[in-house]
Structure 1
Amino acid sequence: MIGSGLFSSPALCGALCYAELGTMLPMNGGETPGSLAIICIVFGEYVSRIAYHTYFFNIPHDSDDAVELADAIIPKFLPKLLAVICLFILTFINAISVQAGIRVQDLLTAIKVLTAIVISITGIVVLSKREPIYGDSSIQGDPFHGIGSISYGQIALAFYSDLPRVIIFGIPLVVFCYMLSNVAYLAVLRPEVVMHSNTVSMDFGKKIFGPSGGILFAVCVALSCFGSANASVFTGARIIYVSAKQGHIPGLFGKLSQSRQTPILALLLQAALTVIMIMIGSFRVLVNFYSLTAWM
């Protein structure tokens, strides 16, 4: 759930519906993971900034020119190249075995939760000083606005057997982490920076812990994106597999590997389609396209 997007879709009620469907229909499949290309590109963006940190990590965290300078310095092909590499690695991992994909997901989930906890605790410490770091005496705006529409995640149903219990306890936990994280951002950074920055976590880490903190948080967010992409790879291939089984696409993609029991051909088809979207679309174009089709 953490790392798949903030304030984007109904949370608890929708997740409970997913739990009901998951227990009633214990079959392969899931929600259409159209965001896979977007997540891979975000991964590429963060890794690019880590690679070129010597150029822009010394820029003031709230500089209005930071994004433009980063875009000018980082080669335009690099984020897309890294996105494709990320996709190929995850496709290979999920083709090896189901357990390999699950183990990777568990590890990355632990890293994401730990990062959220660090951000939340840091925000609490800052607020306890009664004066936000950016110099204003109050947190402007409404940092709690929208907490009723936090993402329920695309992969929750894939890795748990006791779905109702996991969702009932998991959703409030994620809401709490998201809420504290946003309060922490607004306590440390100016609201304008939070609204306009593409790398809020990196700005947060750099403001609190210096350039090294910015790099560390950029790595954590990149790993978060890697985990979200892994979730989409896992579910997406099984949607293709089930579609082939039901005759919607050629039956060739509805076969499992006899030795590994994974939908290798479905994984390869998904990878090919995702590479096309990565190559021809920018982050903003893909977000607009996915946002439209996801709600249709």
Structure 2
Amino acid sequence: MPHQSEIIQVSITILGLVQLARGRASTSLTEPIFEDTSSSPSAYALALYSGLWAFDGWDQANYVGGEMKSPEKNIPRAIHSSMAIVSALFLLANLAYFVVLDKATVGLSNTVALDFGRALFGPIGGAVFAFMVAFSCFGALNGSFFTSARLIYVAGKEGYLPALFGRHNKALKTPLNAMCLQAVLTIAFIVVGGGFRSLINFAVVASWAFYFLTTWIVTPLIFCAVCLFLLCMPIIAAPLEAIAVLGFVIMGIPVYYLTQKAEGENTPPIVNFFTNVFARIRGRPSPREGGWQAVATDGDEHEHVEMSEQFRIS
């Protein structure tokens, strides 16, 4: 069921159009759009963060390019079509919200869809829309896990993370170890985070910092200016969150260099360190080569030989 979100957005749009056709539209449609809104640049930046996060996802299509058929054709199709469809559905759904709800409710609510259902059908409508939103989240969660885990998987294969995370599960044919690590990190962010809005700010600052590095010419220069605006304003509006995420990104720099192989060595120094630690835990001599992979499989050859000898005897 990969299209839960689209179905819900279409349902909201239809209900809003029905209310508009029946002449029961809210006064929000006739009021000035920017009345009683903030003029602070940092407020605009934080608002853009939430909107850009909602439209994000197209950038992760390349993470699964290695598992796609004809990626040179299908990745551009997926990006262009998804952006157009999602933009249209979100704009229509937001129009439906303003048809049913007043502007103040939409601006202050953290659960607009629930308020939308409650305004139309009472408490039962709120409960139904709460279920629909939760059901839609499974689709988004499935897509995020499917794509983002591949980034951890490739990092494991390239040696930036332990080789344990660069393996495919033979039975499921998926990077199960990478997905488990992603699940643990996700739970940790939820536990220590300051709510959904803080997590959005945390994620968007990190992702848009890298968008800013790979652009050129006139239109992308405008894009760069917006990126710079989005990076600077949160430091003023929410300095603790911005400092935390920048520190988190900067922490990756020493990790990157620690995981690089020195000239003449087969494995990075940090991998050799943990190889020795795990070898001692298992009570076996530390292998000279192979790193995490060698520790994980050390002894398998002896077991294989013993099984072969038993087979010959039998």
Query: In the alignment, is residue 179 of structure 1 matched against residue 91 of structure 2?
Result: yes
Which residue, 13, 38, 47 being the options, matches 1:120? 13
Residue 287 of structure 1 corresponds to which residue in structure 2? 200
Residue 226 of structure 1 corresponds to which residue in structure 2? 138
d(CA) in 2 for partners of 1:221, 1:118: 12
Deviations 1:225-276 (A, max 9, x none): 2221221111222111100111111112111122222112111211222222
* TM-score normalised by the chain length of structure 1: 0.56
Residue 214 of structure 1 corresponds to which residue in structure 2? 126
Higher RCO (C-alpha under 8 Å, 6+ residues apart): 1
CA contact (8 A) 1:139 1:186 kept: no
Residue 57 of structure 2 corresponds to which residue in structure 1? 153
Q: Figure out how many residues of one structure are paired with residues of the other and give that number.
A: 185
- Bigger helix fraction: 2
d(CA) in 2 for partners of 1:197, 1:239: 34
Residues 221 and 166 of structure 1: CA distance in aligned 2, closer, same or farther (over 3 Å)? same
Residue 30 of structure 2 corresponds to which residue in structure 1? 138
Q: Which amino acid aligns with 1:280?
A: V
Which runs of 5 or more structure 2 residues have no equivalent in the other structure?
Answer: 35-46, 210-314
* TM-score normalised by the chain length of structure 2: 0.53
Residue 185 of structure 2 corresponds to which residue in structure 1? 273
Residues 140 and 224 of structure 1: CA distance in aligned 2, closer, same or farther (over 3 Å)? farther
User: What displacement does 1:165 show?
Assistant: 3.5
Residues 263 and 169 of structure 1: CA distance in aligned 2, closer, same or farther (over 3 Å)? closer
Residue 36 of structure 1 corresponds to which residue in structure 2? none
d(CA) in 1 for partners of 2:57, 2:31: 29
SS where residue 141 of structure 1 aligns? coil
Residues 137 and 222 of structure 1: CA distance in aligned 2, closer, same or farther (over 3 Å)? closer
Which residue, 165, 187, 194 being the options, matches 2:77? 165
CA contact (8 A) 1:131 1:138 kept: no
d(CA) in 2 for partners of 1:188, 1:245: 51
SS where residue 249 of structure 1 aligns? coil
Residues 184 and 160 of structure 1: CA distance in aligned 2, closer, same or farther (over 3 Å)? farther
Residues 247 and 187 of structure 1: CA distance in aligned 2, closer, same or farther (over 3 Å)? same
Query: In the alignment, is residue 110 of structure 1 matched against residue 3 of structure 2?
Result: yes
Deviations 1:78-126 (A, max 9, x none): xxxxxxxxxxxxxxxxxxxxxxxxxxxxx0x332212111111111122
Q: Which amino acid aligns with 1:291?
A: V
- State how 1:1-296 maps to structure 2 within 5 Å: 107=1, 109-132=2-25, 134=26, 138=30, 140-141=32-33, 151-154=55-58, 156=61, 158=64, 162-283=74-195, 284-296=197-209
Which runs of 5 or more structure 1 residues have no equivalent in the other structure?
Answer: 1-106
Residues 129 and 156 of structure 1: CA distance in aligned 2, closer, same or farther (over 3 Å)? farther
Q: Which has the larger radius of gyration?
A: 2
d(CA) in 2 for partners of 1:136, 1:259: 55
SS where residue 55 of structure 2 aligns? coil
d(CA) in 1 for partners of 2:122, 2:129: 11
Deviations 1:170-200 (A, max 9, x none): 4322222111111110111011111110100
Residues 197 and 229 of structure 1: CA distance in aligned 2, closer, same or farther (over 3 Å)? same
What is the root-mean-square deviation of aligned Cα atoms in Å? 2.7
CA contact (8 A) 1:204 1:214 kept: yes
User: What displacement does 1:130 show?
Assistant: 4.0
